[in-house]
Structure 1
Amino acid sequence: MNGEVVITGLGSVSALGLNTDDFWSAVKEGKSGISAIQGFDEAGLKINLAAQVKDFNPADYFSNKDLPLLDRYSQFALMACREAVVQSGLERDSLWQAAAVIGTGCGGKETDEITYAHLYKQQKSRAHPFTIPKGMPSAAASQVSMQLSIAGPVFTVSSACSSANHAIAQAALLIRAGVVDVAIAGGTDAPFTYGLLKAWEALRVVSVDNCRPFSVDRSGLILGEGAGMVVLESDRHARDRGAAILARLAGSGMSADAGHITDPSADGAARAIQAALRDAKIGCQDVGYVNAHGTGTLANDRTETEALHSVFGSHAKSLMVSSTKSMHGHALGASGGLEFIATVKALQEGIIPPTINFTGPGEGCDLDYVPNVAREKVIRVAISNSFAFGGLNAVQVIQAV
């Protein structure tokens, strides 16, 4: 057994910026990455707001040789992984025996959309020969493996909005079991295609006027895109090489609601939080901050608040709870990775991210949601929640060093 798992690198791409410094600067300043949706001329699209990655030219980051095999979601994954590895200080040859566990909720939707337009709209008879290797759900993991020379365990986790947290949990288990000393993990998604937007539109959970988690007038989520990746190491390995340790991944908890496909369960969420705290051997009173799943939908925010009351009891009123989705949108399988990074930075800097656009507590939402303005507060322990469609829940406990 390798014992403790520590975090030595962070990498992100989001509507708030193409790197973690820009992401965190926007988060702590309460800046929104949500704006009018761009790139869609089709009539009848009702979704008018999105948290899209801006000022991004793939040719600035990838060679002409590589681009034909890189769906947008793979591009984001590679950029975030590269940044995380650079911060960790790991040399390329030291990654050979590492693991990479990459979460995604959607996979290569851009590739699917292009293929369907080619076949059905343009009436072409053949698909591009790279369609499968470019668009398959495991493409991003394979590309990370090939481009970073990672030859240890490499695989994809797909559990909708919990994909990144599940991936991080699996990577940590590999380290704790002694299978590897180093793992790159997180999530990536690029859901902005016409077909997928119409599918989300049909669910009627997307807001037309903004994302206001936990607010009385909240009206739904705003879709986002990007990637959030972290480098995890065994504490021994990180210390032996003199790495700068950013925080400790103290524990992970997972559960399933075994209930409704879209209606979340407070009991299922509570069991994941409790499992994470047990795994970390940390008491409820020690937790100071919760990076909430906080989608801005009527059901999620009320249910998550109920789960926090259930687990933390009277201490729930002392928790600071915020949803950074109010800024970077709901990036689906990438959300947990972005939120994990925001939680690590909160512990490092003693700055609690706000829930922006907050207009007042909704029914059943009676906690401290750090409304609109970040708060300076040194904390030692935080949790990051991900609760997905299908009732698939994953929670991380992160501890300051």
Structure 2
Amino acid sequence: MIYVNGFACKSALGLNEDEAVRNLSEGKDICLKEMSGFLPGGKTAFLAEIPLYPAPLNRHDCRANRLLNECLNELQPLLEEIQGRFSPDRIGAVIGTSTSAITDVENEVLSAGSEYEGELKYDPRVSEIGNISAFVSDRLAITGPSYSIATACSSGGRAFVSARALLESGACDAVIVGACDTLSRITVSGFFALGALDTGRCHPLSDDRAGINIGEGVGVTILTRTPLTRGYVMKLLGAGSSTDGYHISAPEPEGKGAKTAIRLALNDAGLNPEDVGYVNLHATGTVLNDAMEHKVIRDVFGDRVPVSGTKHLTGHTLGAAGVVEAYIAYLIFRHGLKLPALNYLEHMPSHEFDDIHLVKKPEELRRPVIMSNNFAFGGNNVSLIFGRNDCCD
């Protein structure tokens, strides 16, 4: 069994656990708002930027690492426990991202304006994808396997898959698992160019859905083979992944790769579809993704399992989505929360989805098992299954 010990996470849902619990219960967010400066021509878009206080990190300094550092600070008691139990070379770090420090590079170039000649003021290695995991290892003085994963919107989910492999192979006794993505003009304008960005508030699974809202997100947890003594623990029951390579940005219309990932996760966990208590959908709000995911859920679960999404509350946190949504499962288990509803008021869920069990108003979790799905560019798909701490022994 693989245990998920404690969790620190920040997104538009909240900057701490109490805030996130309250907002998840009430269907609210704290910082999704209309912002300018990310799109050409003075256009605005609904985005989420996490409030961050300055805390320079020397050679690893960048916005993403500062956010990660805040989460590590919150997990200090758990980190001290694993550092007391395991040697540094037996503790690993796997961190997902799709932007790393690109935000800082953008800001430096923009601030330099026409005078910019390509000479960076900081160590360019900070902007490498691998720096985000190197920072975690250096910050904690651990020397076990350490690497970053960048598979677009499945990066955070794949961090769990890779961390579990390190534990099951015997390479590690504990693995720091996390993900972070910050707001970037490249990603915001890129999704806008693809016609996949909703410049108003997104409303996944609705008739008039028009795309995603992008939000910053960061989260960190600790995976072990035996539970730690401090903090709340949930279980990673199963995981499945696939890469169908259908298209660089569009999903395979019938969801073949997504179904494969889900069925592999169920088989890995030794569960039938009806054993799952809730599925947190990828549910981005794009026309093609939501239509594909509907077919997947209909074919695998029918209308037997409650499903909804949470990106209307967090924004799409891209490379951090898998970790942010694992945190939502953690909150539901730990605090006995009702399932998040797709209750947009003026944007009701489409009748296109009447043959699956959409959560349109909060419901009780009736089985202590939650699945979370992330489907990325290039057909890179991950499905994770989590269990409450008292289930599935």
The answer on whether the counterparts of 1:34 and 1:52 sit within 8 Å (CA) in structure 2 is: yes
Structure 1 position 201 matched with structure 2 position 189: no
Pair 1:289–1:138, CA change in 2 (3 A): same
Structure 1 position 390 matched with structure 2 position 378: yes
Structure 1 position 247 matched with structure 2 position 244: no
| Number of the residue aligned with 1:276 | 265
| Number of the residue aligned with 2:106 | 113
SS at match of 1:90: helix
Q: How many residues align?
A: 382
| Number of the residue aligned with 1:350 | 336
Distance 1:217 1:126 in 2: 43
Superposition RMSD in Å? 2.2
| Number of the residue aligned with 2:150 | 158
SS at match of 2:219: strand
Q: CA deviation at 1:111?
A: 2.3
Pair 1:298–1:128, CA change in 2 (3 A): same
Q: CA offsets per residue over residues 34-85 of structure 1, 9 Å max, x none?
A: 533446388614342112213x22x2xx2x4x25632111222222233245
What pairs with 1:146-185 in structure 2 (closer than 5 Å)?
146-185=138-177
Q: CA offsets per residue over residues 337-373 of structure 1, 9 Å max, x none?
A: 11011012223333212234263332532323322x4
Pair 1:41–1:296, CA change in 2 (3 A): closer
The answer on whether the counterparts of 2:274 and 2:305 sit within 8 Å (CA) in structure 1 is: no
The answer on whether the counterparts of 1:288 and 1:379 sit within 8 Å (CA) in structure 2 is: yes
The answer on whether the counterparts of 1:47 and 1:197 sit within 8 Å (CA) in structure 2 is: no
Worse-matched range after superposition: 303-312 or 270-279? 303-312
Pair 1:365–1:291, CA change in 2 (3 A): same
Kindly provide the amino acid, as one letter, of the partner of residue 46 in structure 2. L
Structure 1 position 381 matched with structure 2 position 378: no
Distance 1:22 1:67 in 2: 30
Which of 215, 221, 244 lines up with 1:224 in the alignment?
Answer: 215
SS at match of 2:41: coil
What pairs with 1:43-54 in structure 2 (closer than 5 Å)?
44-54=41-51
Which of 1, 4, 7 lines up with 1:10 in the alignment?
Answer: 7
Pair 1:399–1:41, CA change in 2 (3 A): closer
Which of 293, 301, 308 lines up with 1:322 in the alignment?
Answer: 308
The answer on whether the counterparts of 2:36 and 2:43 sit within 8 Å (CA) in structure 1 is: no
| Number of the residue aligned with 1:296 | 285
Kindly provide the amino acid, as one letter, of the partner of residue 256 in structure 2. D
Distance 1:88 1:346 in 2: 23
The answer on whether the counterparts of 1:28 and 1:354 sit within 8 Å (CA) in structure 2 is: no
Q: CA deviation at 1:289?
A: 0.1
Q: CA offsets per residue over residues 69-109 of structure 1, 9 Å max, x none?
A: 32111222222233245457625454622111000012211
SS at match of 2:256: helix
The answer on whether the counterparts of 1:99 and 1:154 sit within 8 Å (CA) in structure 2 is: yes
Unpaired runs of 5+ residues, structure 2, are none
Which of 322, 325, 335 lines up with 2:321 in the alignment?
Answer: 335
Worse-matched range after superposition: 128-137 or 104-113? 128-137
The answer on whether the counterparts of 2:31 and 2:50 sit within 8 Å (CA) in structure 1 is: no
Q: CA offsets per residue over residues 379-400 of structure 1, 9 Å max, x none?
A: 2111000000111001101111
| Number of the residue aligned with 1:138 | 130
Pair 1:89–1:147, CA change in 2 (3 A): closer
Pair 1:41–1:170, CA change in 2 (3 A): closer
SS at match of 1:317: coil
The answer on whether the counterparts of 2:94 and 2:146 sit within 8 Å (CA) in structure 1 is: yes
Pair 1:51–1:125, CA change in 2 (3 A): closer
Pair 1:90–1:25, CA change in 2 (3 A): farther
The answer on whether the counterparts of 1:277 and 1:284 sit within 8 Å (CA) in structure 2 is: yes
Distance 1:159 1:334 in 2: 11
Pair 1:167–1:380, CA change in 2 (3 A): same
SS at match of 1:242: coil
Pair 1:85–1:264, CA change in 2 (3 A): farther
Q: What percent identity do the matched residue pairs reach?
A: 29
**TM-score if structure 2 supplies the norm length?**
0.90
Distance 2:104 2:289 in 1: 31
Pair 1:11–1:41, CA change in 2 (3 A): closer
Distance 2:39 2:257 in 1: 39
Q: CA deviation at 1:245?
A: 5.0
Which of 181, 201, 214 lines up with 2:205 in the alignment?
Answer: 214
The answer on whether the counterparts of 1:321 and 1:369 sit within 8 Å (CA) in structure 2 is: yes
The answer on whether the counterparts of 1:186 and 1:230 sit within 8 Å (CA) in structure 2 is: yes
The answer on whether the counterparts of 2:210 and 2:285 sit within 8 Å (CA) in structure 1 is: yes
The answer on whether the counterparts of 1:257 and 1:264 sit within 8 Å (CA) in structure 2 is: no
SS at match of 1:390: helix
Which of 299, 303, 306 lines up with 1:310 in the alignment?
Answer: 299
**TM-score if structure 1 supplies the norm length?**
0.88
Distance 1:101 1:160 in 2: 15
